[in-house]
Structure 1
Amino acid sequence: MTDTGDLGFSNRTGRPPGRVITAVSRFVPAIRRVQQQIEPYARRWEERNRAELERTGPLCVVLGDSMAQGVGASRPECGWAGQLIDRLPGWRLVNLSQYGARVDDVLDAQLPAALRLEPDLLLCLIGSNDLMQPKHQDGVGNRYAALLDRLPPGTVVGNQPGTFAAALQVNGLIDDAVQRRGLVLAELRDPRTRHWRGKLASDRFHPNDRGYAAIAEVFTEALRRAGYRDAS
């Protein structure tokens, strides 16, 4: 796997896509088109990360899954992370997200790599792959609590727009950590990120450019509340 600079980190988890989505994509071109973005989008972020680490300036590091990779968008930079950094002129962006990432991937790989970089700003949006697959829901509360306890104060954390039990549990943990540990909430329980008509890619799961723009808007508002005045 390709490393990001000297971090010993890859924008790939090393796990293949799930068997069901792999099988379906063979027969459904709309899903196959999105799946075909996975490898080139990961490669693009690894290339960009190396270039960003060679520059100077304040550093923003992103933790997350395929949504931060921009899978479903017209190009990687049109994911929420890419659209957000355009609103922070002068900042560098290192995107440590991975397609298919779960909370454990952030705990075990992404967050340690991020902390080694000593970022000026840390952003985290994770949990969809734990919450949307029943086999991964068991214990998600404990895993998320461990993650929230390790995120540095000031980290901007996106919550979950879903209203089912596991999502509500995770959101309760996030709300508590925001109050208790000084994290910053990106409030995705917002009509812009709960209603997805016209905002989904052809696989009907990942956002498209417009959907990612809505997520970027929510994170931008969180940054303004946290005092990042350059966020526009």
Structure 2
Amino acid sequence: MPPHQDLRRRSGTPPRRVPVRVVAISLAALLLAAVGLGAALASHPPAAADTVRVTRPDDRPLRVLFVGDSISYGLNAERQDLGFRPLMVDALSAGGPVQEFHKNRAGATTRSVSRLLNVPKNLDLAVVELGTNDVVDQTAPDDFAGSYRSLLLRVHTESPRVPLLCVGTWGSAGGSDGSDTYNAVIEEECARQGGAFVSLYGLYPIAANRGPAGRDVFGGTSDRFHPNDTGYRAIADLLLGRIVR
């Protein structure tokens, strides 16, 4: 039998060669597609999780950080221990000791609170409730995003695996104050860090969760904006419901 090369010669059909230019164009197209996909992923990051899993250490108290504004402070509650933060600590303490860290400043923006915060190490849970005063002060959305992102990164630098609960602003959806823009930033930045975004839009419109104005309360005299005892209990229950233990 003749060698295989003779068979190829008799066929009269030389092997097809792909021009170098076509190969180069194809590779360039693939590269552009990859870049486009990367840009799309960057502009549309994964949605924030619905829940976070908190694991209680066997050899020490559960270390929990709260960062926030007047809502974390508990302004308008009848007593300080009726704010959502103390209520959450009490509930978490049912499973064992809790060591609480907090930094909250009434009327402060995210950047202002971040400057005051010394982030502890070895945290087991971090609750970040900021953005409402950025809505009120109309902080530029890009500036707000930068401040919020920087704060979350600082928390994760000190405690790389800490579960994050990112609480939305106290207000209503679709408001003329533009709060939707700020909540979108919170949700996006929280997703980048693997945290759970918790919107308060379902609680603020309920009249029983706010006011009435003019009462003697923790922090001074009550107003119609901040949560009351019922509102703070609702916030605490909402956040606790997002923690898997």
Same fold (TM over 0.5): yes
Q: 1:197 aligns with which of 193, 204, 207?
A: 207
Paired residue for 1:177? 189
Deviation at 1:119, TM superposition (A): 2.1
Q: 2:199 aligns with which of 180, 184, 187?
A: 187
* Moved beyond 4 Å, runs of 4+: none
Alignment CA distance shift 1:218-1:181 (3 Å): same
Following the alignment from structure 1 to structure 2, what is the Cα–Cα distance between the partners of residues 92 and 146? 24
TM-score, structure 1 as length reference: 0.63
Aligned Cα root-mean-square deviation (Å): 2.2
Q: Is the 8 A contact 1:199 1:211 kept in 2?
A: yes
Structure whose alpha-carbon radius of gyration is higher: 2
Structure-to-structure mapping, 1:58-73, within 5 angstroms? 58-73=62-77
Paired residue for 2:107? 100
Letter in structure 1 aligned against 2:187: D
Q: Is the 8 A contact 2:135 2:182 kept in 1?
A: no
- Matched residues, number: 164
Paired residue for 2:28? none
Between Structure 1 and Structure 2, the one with more strand by share is 2
Q: Which of the pair has the greater relative contact order for Cα pairs under 8 Å at 6+ separation?
A: 2
Paired residue for 2:123? 119
Alignment CA distance shift 1:181-1:95 (3 Å): closer
Alignment CA distance shift 1:204-1:68 (3 Å): same
List runs of 5+ in structure 2 lacking aligned partners.
1-59, 157-161, 214-222
SS at match of 2:207: coil
Deviation at 1:216, TM superposition (A): 0.8
TM-score, structure 2 as length reference: 0.60
Paired residue for 2:18? none
Q: 1:74 aligns with which of 49, 58, 78?
A: 78
Paired residue for 1:218? 238
Letter in structure 2 aligned against 1:108: R
Letter in structure 1 aligned against 2:76: G
